[in-house]
């Protein structure tokens, strides 16, 4: 056992061990007082008296007698306490074999006191952020798009009438305790299915081809919950013991539409993502109702992070839900936009930081973000088969109010088109801590 970890501040063990020890000490003093009185007033003669004197160590000096009994009592107390804790927590320890009990309890306690963070979006970018943040706080809420209409998500949406589940599955896997295992398990796809453009490959109606196991689990839980999609996602959160919660932006399926600068209208997320020159996107139904839990999380948050993730097909479908947009405008939380590290072939081809930010503000409202976090490392390795480019740091000339721009090295050194989860989470928390501290100083100065 790592005694140092058990005795570290914040674990919540030392104070209660102290209470137990004090209680046992008082009990021992009381028993000793009674025994002393009884033996002083009634002391048997003969062999019984000799045995009583031996049992109470009367042949030893009084201080040594007390020391021996005290050390023995403490040893028994610690041994018994450890054995009881191990017996009670055996099921928990079995699920975390690579982590000591002290480390596990300390991490749970520490994460419970972390900042309340809401992360909005979808796709691989949001999953990377969540994977990093879960090591710093357990108070995470991911509000995820349900506009996907391709692949397994699209097939289940068409057949069962449920919102898209793919982005939700990825975020749940990212926040799960056994994250690599859960990512592989939930993301496993049965052979067959749909091509990238959504056309069926599996000719058997209702077949498993192309479906991800995680998508099927959420669909099954929706049926178990009598069609309540939000309840199904909540149960999935509990079943996989995620650190925080993942919420659909709405329990209603959403369809994404886009209009290009040439006036061409495209419908469906899987088609919009391959469209370049996008001028405007919108969703139907336009007045879709959001998840009530999502609104409550935004209102209660310390930090709201927008992105990273596909700008037009992951982030904006969430922000275009009217009540989500209004909640974001009302919240007292620090609102941070994390810009993508790379463009996407199609929807953001040729985009720089200014283009991303102008599209975000143009679809929401001025002042929607307080801080912008962007990558400033451009020498990371780019996979040979990737044709996208790094997002360059051009700041929009006409933007008001002006958000704070912070740049940092948040890119994956192996793949310049992905964020590094550890670096990104550290940068988000570092920037948030600085900005929130500045807010507190200004607030104190105004009230002084």
| pLDDT tens, residue by residue, 326-372 | 999 999 999 999 999 999 999 999 999 999 999 999 999 999 999 99
What confidence tier does 195 reach under pLDDT thresholds 50, 70, 90? very low
The DSSP 8-state label assigned to residue 443 in this structure reads: H
Q: Once rounded to an integer, what is the mean pLDDT over residues 65-93? A: 73
pLDDT at residue 203 in the model: 36
Q: Which of 101-110, 176-185, 216-225 has the lowest mean pLDDT?
A: 101-110
Mean pLDDT of the chain: 86
Reference 155, options 116, 187, 99, 198; nearest CA is: 198
Match 């919009």 to its residue by tokens. 272
**CB 62, CB 70: distance < 8 Å:** no
Confidence (pLDDT) at 299: 98
**Count of Cβ atoms closer than 10 Å to residue 18 Cβ:** 10
pLDDT confidence tier of residue 238, bands split at 50, 70 and 90: very high
pLDDT score for 20 = 75
Distance CA 197, CA 272 (A): 11
Over 70: is that where the pLDDT of 40 sits? no
Contact 371, 406 (CB under 8 A): yes
Structure tokens given for 136: 């710093």
Provide the pLDDT for residue 12.
Answer: 63
pLDDT at 21: 74
Query: Given this model, what pLDDT does residue 92 score?
Result: 58
Residue 69 scores a pLDDT above 80: no
Res 380: pLDDT: 79
pLDDT band at 197 (very low <50, low <70, confident <90, very high): very low
Q: What local confidence, expressed as pLDDT, does residue 362 receive?
A: 95
User: 22: helix, coil or strand?
Assistant: helix
pLDDT at 48: 67
The DSSP result for 304-341, as a single string, is EEE-SS-IIIIIHHHHTSHHHHHHHHH--SEEEEE--S
- Look at residue 331 in the predicted model and tell me its pLDDT: 97
What pLDDT band is residue 62 in, cutting at 50, 70 and 90? Answer: low
Mean pLDDT, residues 207-236 taken together = 93
Q: How far apart are CA 29 and CA 322, in angstroms?
A: 68
Q: Which residue has the higher pLDDT, 403 or 177?
A: 403
In terms of average pLDDT, the best of 146-155, 234-243, 282-291 is 282-291
| pLDDT > 90: percent of the chain | 57
Question: What pLDDT was estimated at residue 6?
Answer: 58
Position 3 pLDDT exceeds 60? no
Buried b (16+ CB within 10 A) or exposed e, 396-407: eeeeeeebeebe
Exposure string for 135-157, b = 16+ CB within 10 A, e = fewer: ebbbbbbbbbbbbbbbbbbbbbb
- Per residue in 394-440, pLDDT (tens digit) is 998 788 888 999 999 999 988 888 999 999 999 999 999 999 999 99
Please give the Cα distance from 260 to 272 (Å, whole number).
Answer: 10
Which of 51-60, 191-200, 205-214, 419-428 shows the highest mean pLDDT? Answer: 419-428
Residue 109: what pLDDT?
76
What is the arithmetic mean of pLDDT over 281-285? 98
What is the gyration radius of the CA atoms in the chain, in angstroms?
30
Average pLDDT over residues 290-297: 98
Domain 114-447 = CATH 1.10.10.10: no
Residue 51 has pLDDT above 80, yes or no: no
Whether 143 has a pLDDT exceeding 70, the answer reads yes
User: Residues 230-243, buried b or exposed e (16+ Cβ, 10 A)?
Assistant: bebbbbbbeebebb
The encoded tokens of residue 213 equal: 């196991």
Within 10 Å of residue 113's Cβ, how many Cβ atoms? 10
């Amino acid at each position: 056992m790592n005694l140092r970890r058990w005795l570290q501040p914040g674990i919540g063990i030392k104070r209660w061990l102290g209470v137990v020890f004090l209680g046992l000490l008082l009990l021992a003093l009381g028993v000793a007082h009674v025994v002393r009185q009884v033996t002083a007033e009634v002391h048997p003669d003969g062999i019984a008296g000799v045995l009583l004197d031996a049992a109470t160590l009367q042949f030893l000096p009084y201080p040594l007698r007390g020391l021996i009994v005290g050390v023995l009592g403490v040893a028994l107390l610690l041994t018994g306490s450890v054995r009881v804790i191990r017996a009670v927590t055996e099921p928990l320890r079995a699920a975390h074999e690579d982590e000591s009990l002290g480390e596990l309890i300390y991490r749970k306690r520490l994460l419970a006191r972390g900042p309340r963070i809401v992360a909005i979006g979808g796709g691989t970018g949001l999953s990377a952020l969540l994977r990093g943040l879960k090591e710093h706080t357990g108070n995470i809420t991911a509000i995820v798009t349900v506009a996907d209409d391709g692949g397994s998500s699209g097939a289940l949406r068409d057949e069962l009438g449920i919102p898209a589940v793919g982005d939700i599955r990825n975020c749940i896997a990212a926040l799960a305790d056994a994250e690599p295992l859960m990512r592989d398990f939930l993301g496993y796809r049965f052979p067959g299915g749909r091509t990238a453009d959504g056309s069926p490959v599996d000719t058997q109606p209702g077949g498993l081809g192309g479906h991800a196991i995680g998508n099927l689990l959420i669909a099954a839980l929706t049926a178990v919950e009598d069609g309540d999609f939000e309840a199904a996602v909540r149960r999935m959160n509990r079943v996989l013991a995620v650190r925080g919660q993942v919420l659909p932006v709405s329990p209603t399926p959403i369809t994404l539409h886009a209009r290009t600068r040439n006036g061409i209208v495209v419908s469906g997320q899987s088609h919009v993502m391959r469209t370049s020159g996008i001028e405007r996107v919108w969703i139907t139904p336009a007045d879709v109702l959001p998840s009530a839990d999502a609104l409550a999380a935004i209102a209660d948050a310390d930090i709201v992070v927008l992105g990273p993730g596909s700008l037009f097909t992951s982030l904006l479908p969430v922000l275009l839900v009217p009540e989500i947009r209004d909640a974001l405008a009302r919240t007292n939380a620090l609102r941070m936009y994390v810009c993508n590290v790379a463009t996407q072939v199609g929807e953001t081809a040729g985009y720089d930081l200014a283009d991303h930010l102008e599209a975000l503000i143009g679809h929401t409202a001025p002042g929607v973000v307080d801080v912008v976090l962007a990558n400033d490392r451009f020498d990371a390795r780019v996979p040979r088969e990737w044709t996208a480019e790094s997002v360059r740091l051009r700041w929009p000339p006409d933007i008001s109010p002006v958000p704070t721009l912070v740049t940092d090295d948040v890119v994956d050194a192996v793949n310049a088109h992905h964020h590094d989860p550890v670096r990104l989470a550290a940068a988000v928390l570092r920037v948030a801590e600085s900005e929130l501290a500045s807010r507190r100083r200004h607030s104190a100065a105004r009230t002084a």
